[in-house]
Structure 1
Amino acid sequence: MIDVSFKIETRGLTLAFGDRVIQRDVALRIRPGSIFALMGGSGCGKSTVMKGLFGLLRPIAGTVLIDGESYWDASDDRRIEINRRYGVLFQSAALWSSLTVAENVALPLKLFTRQKPAAIADLVRLKLALVGMEAAADLMPSELSGGMRKRAGLARALALDPEVLFFDEPSAGLDPITSRRLDDLILELRGGLGTTIVLVSHELPSLFAIADDGAFLDAETQTVIASGSPTELRDHCAHPTVQAFMHRERTSESRTPIMQSNGGDADGS
């Protein structure tokens, strides 16, 4: 029996590249309006699972249900319709380097709507204002700091008013202050727009600050070994892999800025 109280649900989802299985039998239940985190160490398949959720990678087994509808059993046209309900912020922001910030945000509107140029320009201004980037509309991606690129990518992800936003390592490469500002922005978007958010992250401060549900993926067993919010997993999950992750020492990470201090911040953020 299908439970349509879940925005996204997976059953027996198995993802692979060729003969190499990345994750098997993944069962997720993502409720509308939640901030759902895919957690785990490097190489466990977090980004791969996310790609399976929004249709970038076809599973070798299992089902992805969107509001109770099977994504991969739908027609090509129907999958395109479903995809238009998504917004994706990739780890690198994936902005087109030859387009201005405003042109990047306008691109989905030009490709997937019949809005007139004046209406598109108004919508672009609105989306940039939502992320505090209206003053950067005419800048090129190369002129942006790392944090600004993330926010510009987020504005583009919001262009079509998505019901679900997917974030792949939104805080990667950002300093702690910029990362916190992005976390606050994600919470504001969820609160103001009611958007369901699925994020991949291994950054503990961000996970504890914004995620209210999630799943922990394990590289060794290639399975989901725990489910719940980051706080619940930290306080109540006895699995040693989960505990090592949630209570891990960050000594090597804390040394990184000192080692790189002579080179400065490449992103300028």
Structure 2
Amino acid sequence: MMSAQETLISVRNLQLSFGPKIIQQEVSFDLKRGSIFAVMGGSGCGKSTLLRSIVGLLRPTAGQIMVGGEDYWAQPDDRRTAINRRYGVLFQGGALWSSMTVGENVALPLEMFTSLTPDEITELVRLKLGLVGMEHAIDLFPYEISGGMCKRAGLARAIALEPDILFFDEPSAGLDPITSARLDDLILSLRDGLGATIVIVSHELPSLLTIADDGIFLDAKTHRPITHGSPRALLDNCTIPEVTAFMHRSATIPSQTEQKAEQHV
């Protein structure tokens, strides 16, 4: 029996680079079972790059990503593929194949990675689409549905193989506040109903405060994480200027000279 506090993924001293350009370094955190973990920070700090490395799309230049005690990037290709079966990923915009119907998009991983019959796959596709409120759109093409519906269809595809861990890259980007709130509710219901563990990359503060219970804050200037904790705790308690500006949506961050001047007023 697995503990609710079981560590599913441990990231240790990770460095991510494109050639000589360092994106992030000294990144370390643990992903606990049942948590919704937020990767936070301003534009260009490397949030999506970190996500791509964890899911196996970008090899880090240093450090380790331990999945269930295995060093992911030290494994042969076939073992990494097996580990990836534990993952479900919702990319920005849903990333649906435009030439395939919603149902065909959701069926694709089931056709590729299972030996289920066509009838069994159709039944599962209807079930997964039903979980996200999209069963009515099974025969529609992506261009026939809204952006929010594309996100939900992408989510149905992400949970098709019943993964342990879900990764969401900017799930609320481009959505109106009402649709975004509905997606937040859906993410919470998946965590509670399916027991999924979730990693979410986002700069959408209302969503982060609503759903995330742990997280890491990446800084674009130092190329390092500068704090850990839930978004709510960072909003209420963190005094680091960069984090405060992000959490309170300040227009500017005081310089060190300005901060010292304020302390003497």
Q: Alignment RMSD, CA only?
A: 1.0
SS at match of 2:96: coil
SS at match of 2:242: helix
Does 2:19 correspond to 1:32?
Answer: no
Q: How does 1:185-224 map to 2 (within 5 A)?
A: 185-224=186-225
2:181 aligned residue = 180
Structure 2: segments with no counterpart, 5+ residues: 252-265
User: Deviation at 1:249?
Assistant: 4.6
> Distance in 1 between the 2:6 and 2:138 partners?
39
Structure 1, residues 4-38: CA drift from partner, whole Å, max 9, x if none?
Answer: 93111111100111211100010011101100000
1:111 aligned residue = 112
1:240 aligned residue = 241
1:148 aligned residue = 149
SS at match of 1:234: helix
TM-score, normalised to structure 1's length?
0.90
User: Is contact 1:5–1:67 with CA below 8 Å preserved after alignment?
Assistant: no
> Distance in 1 between the 2:87 and 2:12 partners?
20
> Distance in 2 between the 1:59 and 1:92 partners?
25
User: Deviation at 1:83?
Assistant: 0.3
SS at match of 1:47: helix
User: Is contact 1:6–1:68 with CA below 8 Å preserved after alignment?
Assistant: no
1:22 aligned residue = 23
1:98 aligned residue = 99
Structure 1, residues 182-236: CA drift from partner, whole Å, max 9, x if none?
Answer: 0000000000011010000000100000000000000000000000000111112
> Distance in 2 between the 1:5 and 1:97 partners?
39
SS at match of 2:80: helix
2:72 aligned residue = 71
User: Is contact 1:30–1:36 with CA below 8 Å preserved after alignment?
Assistant: yes
Instruction: Report which stretch shifted further, 170-179 or 16-25.
Output: 16-25
The aligned length equals 247
Does 2:14 correspond to 1:13?
Answer: yes
SS at match of 1:96: coil
Structure 1: segments with no counterpart, 5+ residues: 251-269
Percent identical residues: 65
1:50 aligned residue = 51
